[in-house]
A = this chain, B = another copy of it.
Amino acid sequence: MKLKAIAIASALAVAGTAWAATTRDEPIQPIQPAQVTNPALVELGKKLYFDPRLSRSGFISCNSCHNLSMGGSDNLKTSIGDKWQQGPINSPTVLNSSLAVAQFWDGRAADLKEQAGGPIANPGEMAFTHDLAVGTLRTIPGYVAEFKSVFGSADINIDKITQAIAAFEETLVTPNSPFDAWLKGDDKALNDRELAGYGLFKESGCVACHNGPAAGGTSFQKMGLFEPYKTNNPAEGRAGVTGKDEDRMNFKVPTLRNVELTYPYFHDGEAATLEQAVELMGRLQLGRKYSEQEISDIVAFLKTLTGDQPTFVMPILPPSSNATPKPNPWQ
């Protein structure tokens, strides 16, 4: 049996797209590996993602709050911004964010490119302006050369900067989780507890929102359906974008991919553990009180959603020139 399984696996591996045909018919689908069509653009985007010179202080980069060593998040309730400001909301993971219907908890950015410009200019985050960020990069000869090589023109603007960052972020997918192996036909990839947890996850209704390849990210939903969600966090969710009262407390459903790594949970980061998050989701969103055993099983399943973390060489940033403005974090 084992040999046969290996033979089938090999045949499928060779066939490539044949995997899709054998994927189980489930509400969650496997994460596909990144398809890099423009590696030079991705490489430039990686540098920019790690470059704190896009912030006023010269200290905060995209990676500060979406740390790729830590599940693409910062593992804090809410993020630390310029001058140690307390951020208003939990930093969502950048991993698999290309699969989301929109960006930010309230979906105010249509895509990753639009999102990337947000924190740079947000006074509570990187606290720069697009003009100052662009002006800074234009004084860095290594960037001027790289933008020219990538875009065919040495002009640097915010559109190119965010396009490059988005191209890098699109590569930050996490295929090959145990759950994906199971989806693709490997019966041994999940143990009985994990399977029981997944069964419960489906039958009790979690999949209504947490579906698709990212197990979430595809819709906005009210936080607190059966009971109101109690929080001191003033975020109102989607209503801030649409202006509609019925969108109050509507937030983008977060992806559950790599959820083991992206603690703490919810838009306010108030759930410290997966157990707390599952218990509260069951009660508030499904009107169901899970037993300890049920919570434990669902958590076991959730941990099978941890996939291969993006593997890449740490970028080396081009040095500033004498013309580069000198950041003063305390000004």
Interface residues, chain A, CB within 8 Å of chain B? Answer: 47, 50-52, 57-59, 64, 67-71, 74-77, 80, 83-84, 86, 260-261, 263-264, 272-273, 275, 309, 311-317, 319-320, 322, 326-330
Q: This chain: how many copies in the complex? A: 2
B315 close to A313 (CB less than 8 A): no
| Cβ-closest chain B residue relative to A263 | B320
A313 close to B316 (CB less than 8 A): no
Residues of B within 8 A of A309 (CB): 316
A75 close to B58 (CB less than 8 A): yes
Given contacts A59-B76, A86-B330, A329-B76, contact A68 B263 (CB under 8 A): no
Given contacts A80-B329, A84-B84, A314-B69, contact A319 B275 (CB under 8 A): no
B314 close to A314 (CB less than 8 A): yes
Given contacts A84-B84, A322-B275, contact A317 B69 (CB under 8 A): yes
A86–B59 CA distance with the chains assembled, in angstroms: 12
A selection of 12 A-B contacts at a CB cut-off of 8 Å is A47-B69, A59-B64, A70-B319, A76-B327, A86-B329, A86-B330, A260-B319, A263-B319, A264-B326, A272-B322, A311-B314, A313-B313
A326–B64 CA distance with the chains assembled, in angstroms: 18
A6–B312 CA distance with the chains assembled, in angstroms: 33
| Cβ-closest chain B residue relative to A67 | B52
Residues of B within 8 A of A74 (CB): 58-59
A80 close to B68 (CB less than 8 A): no
Task: For residue A330, give the distance in angstroms from its CB to the closest CB of chain B.
Answer: 5
Residues of B within 8 A of A64 (CB): 59
A84–B309 CA distance with the chains assembled, in angstroms: 30
Residues of B within 8 A of A264 (CB): 326
A74–B84 CA distance with the chains assembled, in angstroms: 17
Other-chain residue from B70, B80, B86, B313 in contact with A311 (beta carbon distance below 8 A):
B313
A329 close to B84 (CB less than 8 A): yes
Task: For residue A134, give the distance in angstroms from its CB to the closest CB of chain B.
Answer: 19
**A59-B74, A311-B314 provided; 9 other pairs, C-beta below 8 A?**
A51-B69, A57-B80, A58-B76, A68-B314, A84-B84, A84-B330, A260-B319, A272-B322, A311-B313
A298–B327 CA distance with the chains assembled, in angstroms: 26
Residues of B within 8 A of A273 (CB): 322
A330–B76 CA distance with the chains assembled, in angstroms: 11
